[in-house]
Amino acid sequence: MRGVEESCRLGRMYAESASLPGAADRPNEDWSATAVPTPGGGGAVVVLDGVTPPAGDDGCVHGVPWFTARLGGALTGLCASRGELTLAEILAEAIRRTADSHRSTCDLSHIRTPQATVVAARWDAQRVEHLVLSDSVLLLESPAGAVRAVRDDRLDRVPREVLRSHEATDRWRNAEGGFFTAAADPGVARRAVTGVSPRKEVRALAALTDGASRWVELFGEGDWRDCFRVLRKEGTRGLLHRVRTLERHEAGAGGSRRWKLHDDATAVFAEL
């Protein structure tokens, strides 16, 4: 498998990530980063899943990988440097900065302007903050081993028949009663699922794009606690390998539970 894998250990914190493109002939539109911990024991994780537009005009000359790298870089930098801001405020500022960087060359009002799902987590000695926008997922593990999934389930509420049509999906995208992604409007940050947990109640966390969360959400191989066990035992790359194996098996058996065989898949795991 071709992809990206990283790991680091700084002080008490350990973090690793892995990412695989959905197809060898297309760039990976996922993006992830782990911010270097501060002397006080803080750090941050950011994961984006770029939304692949249908072939044709999206009003932007840059493309989704450019957008996710710009937005992800801004988010990570702000998480590390602006502790006085909430994660929603940080997301809003990162969206504004990214929009400003291509406002003069691109039509940011286009419904398919580059956009992404967002997972962000930031922690210090006292607390762990989280933010989730659209269908990526954040997992929080307690010292006792309980795992809580933080999800934005608005996309799940969109009728399946709507999601089979790009044009129909566009009418629900970033619209009241529909679902929301990070695109060019900073106001969407208010729609994110956010929360704060005491640091002592979180010993580890994981962020998964929907290409990685398929192990639970599509294939039903286990629940979120089982998924966390896989991450601990086999690492992020091990989870992605399991997903790819399941995808290939279903394709060989004539399965039809998805619209594409593989999706970009990214997993980040961090022990705090």
CB-based contact 215:223 (threshold 8 Å): no
Reference 137, options 117, 158, 151, 157; nearest CA is 151
Measure the CA–CA gap between 130 and 122, rounded to whole angstroms. 7
Say how many residues make up the chain: 272
Average pLDDT of the segment spanning 29-55: 87
Average pLDDT of the segment spanning 20-38: 89
Measure the CA–CA gap between 207 and 210, rounded to whole angstroms. 10
Measure the CA–CA gap between 211 and 219, rounded to whole angstroms. 11
DSSP letter string, 143-181: TTS-EEEEE-TTGGGS-HHHHT-HHHHHTTBTSTTSB--
> What is the b/e burial string over 174-184, where b = at least 16 CB atoms within 10 angstroms of the residue's CB?
beeebbbbbbb
Measure the CA–CA gap between 179 and 85, rounded to whole angstroms. 25
Mean per-residue pLDDT of the chain: 92
Cα first-last separation, the chain: 29
Q: What percent of the chain has pLDDT over 90?
A: 81
The label of the residue with tokens 């197809």 reads 23
**pTM as predicted:** 0.93
Average pLDDT of the segment spanning 77-106: 96
Predicted pLDDT of residue 99: 98
- pLDDT band of 251, cuts 50, 70, 90: confident
Predicted pLDDT of residue 253: 52
The label of the residue with tokens 């937005």 reads 71
Average pLDDT of the segment spanning 225-254: 91
Measure the CA–CA gap between 109 and 60, rounded to whole angstroms. 10
Instruction: Report helix, strand or coil for 265.
Output: strand
Reference 1, options 245, 216, 227, 208; nearest CA is 245
Question: Is the predicted pLDDT of residue 141 greater than 60, yes or no?
Answer: yes
Q: What percent of the chain has pLDDT over 70?
A: 91
- pLDDT band of 98, cuts 50, 70, 90: very high
As beta bridge partners, residue 153 has: none
Model pLDDT for residues 172-223, shown as the tens digit of each residue: 999 999 999 999 999 999 999 999 999 999 999 999 999 999 999 999 999 9
Predicted pLDDT of residue 163: 86
Predicted pLDDT of residue 2: 46
- pLDDT band of 262, cuts 50, 70, 90: confident
Predicted pLDDT of residue 41: 73
Q: With 0-12 CB in 10 A as exposed, 13-18 as middle and 19+ as buried, what is 271?
A: middle
Question: Is the predicted pLDDT of residue 257 greater than 80, yes or no?
Answer: no
Model pLDDT for residues 60-77, shown as the tens digit of each residue: 999 999 999 999 999 999
Predicted pLDDT of residue 1: 39
Reference 202, options 268, 135, 134, 122; nearest CA is 122
Q: Which residue has the higher pLDDT, 115 or 248?
A: 115
